[in-house]
Amino acid sequence: MTRVKRGYIARKRRKQILAFVSGSRGAHSKLFRTANQRKARALVSVHRDRGKRKRDLRRLWITRINAAARANGVSYNRFIQYLYKRQLLPNRKTLAQIAVLDSNCFSTILKTLSYDEINR
Amino acid sequence: MANLKRALAGINRINLEGLRWRVFDCKGQVLGRLASQISVVLQGKDKPTYAPYRDDGDMCIVINAKDICVTGKKLTDKVYRWHTGYVGHLKERTLKDQMAKDPTEVIRKAVFRMLPKNKLQDDRDRKLRIFGGSEHPFTDRPLEGFVMPPRKVREMRPRVRRAMIRAQKKAEQSDAIKQAIKDKKN
């Protein structure tokens, strides 16, 4: 067989992988063999955390709604109960954003709901 | 005053703008119940802008730490244990001794152990200032008192209640006897 030099194919492949993990700490962004492992772990994390992100954000929204509701005298579970009884289904994301950006609106919602519940 | 230096220690490490200064009064409060409220405020979980990666809790000042209460026999039976690292050197100290030695440590330990064990735990601990009496050097700040949420206190168990009634009767009798002796003297 004729002699085949591999040329720069390997270098191209390694450069691509190193570009992927640029920003990692220390040798993980400089040396190919450690960087390769880093890339594998990164891809696994991205895949797994796409599902986790939805869970984490919902947790955060619930904590925020809890804080805002308790500042107005109602706990999170009661607040959700009142909403569900009236068949109002805003999602936690919207409620949390209202609580942060427009706290007056949030208190009004809460007070109207709890007033109706108590006086039913 | 040695207390003053410790009270102001590390204040410039905290980013103080926008934080409220909440005052917790320990008089007559139960140790764990108060500590859990303090830890919620320290984490910033009572604010709708809470974020778990960032330390946004309010500064907490605790006064009258020596008047904290515990239920049951914890004053003699609750033991703080720690190991110094040397073989056989497990050290113990009861709650009673700790209160005599330094009552602020009791609350500090309780709150520290209730905070989430992550990188922010030390920063949050730094925002907590505890004083044994009711004097504190932060009187020039805008302070807000913390109102404990209402609590349903459990009814006393029959045996404990009988013991209490007996103790009351005994106290009444001894007072009556003392009064009688006084009257006789007069």
Which of A70, A100, A106 has the CB atom closest to B46's CB atom?
A70
pLDDT band at B148 (very low <50, low <70, confident <90, very high): confident
Looking at residue B69, the DSSP 8-state letter turns out to be B
Q: In B, which residues are within 8 Å of A65 by CB distance?
A: 48
DSSP B53: T
**Residue bearing the bigger pLDDT, B11 or B52:** B52
Cβ-Cβ contacts under 8 Å, B50 against chain A: 60, 63-64, 67
Would you give the end-to-end CA distance of chain B in angstroms? 48
User: What are A62-83's pLDDT values in tens digits?
Assistant: 999 999 999 988 999 999 999 9
Average pLDDT, chain B: 89
Q: Report if pTM > 0.90.
A: no
pLDDT in tens, B72-108: 889 999 999 999 999 999 999 999 999 999 999 999 9
Distance CA B94, CA B20 (A): 34
Among the partner-chain residues A67, A100, A106, the one whose CB lies closest to the CB of B46 is A67
Helices and strands in chain B: count of H runs, count of E runs: 7, 6
From the list A64, A103, A106, the residue facing B50 with the nearest CB is: A64
CA distance A28 to chain B (A): 24
CB contact under 8 A, A67 and B52: no
Residue numbers in A near B47 (CB within 8 A): 67
Give the pLDDT score at B9: 75
Q: Does the pLDDT of residue A61 top 60, yes or no?
A: yes
Chain B residues with beta carbon closer than 8 angstroms to that of A71: 46, 48
CA-based end-to-end distance of chain A: 92
Helix (H) or strand (E) holding B129: strand B128-130
Which residues are paired to B23 by β-bridges? B61, B145
Q: How far is A10 from chain B (nearest CA, A)?
A: 41
Q: Determine the residue type at A5.
A: K
B97 touches A: beta carbon within 8 Å = no
Which residues in chain B have their CB less than 8 angstroms from residue A64's CB? 48-50
Size of interface A-B (CB pairs under 8 A): 25
Beta-sheet pairing, B90-94 with B79-83: antiparallel
Distance of residue B45 Cα from the nearest chain A Cα, in angstroms: 6
Residue A30 confidence (pLDDT) above 60: yes
> B110, B32 in Cβ contact below 8 A?
yes
Structure tokens at A111: 């007070």
| pLDDT above 50 for B21 | yes
Instruction: State residue B118's pLDDT score.
Output: 93
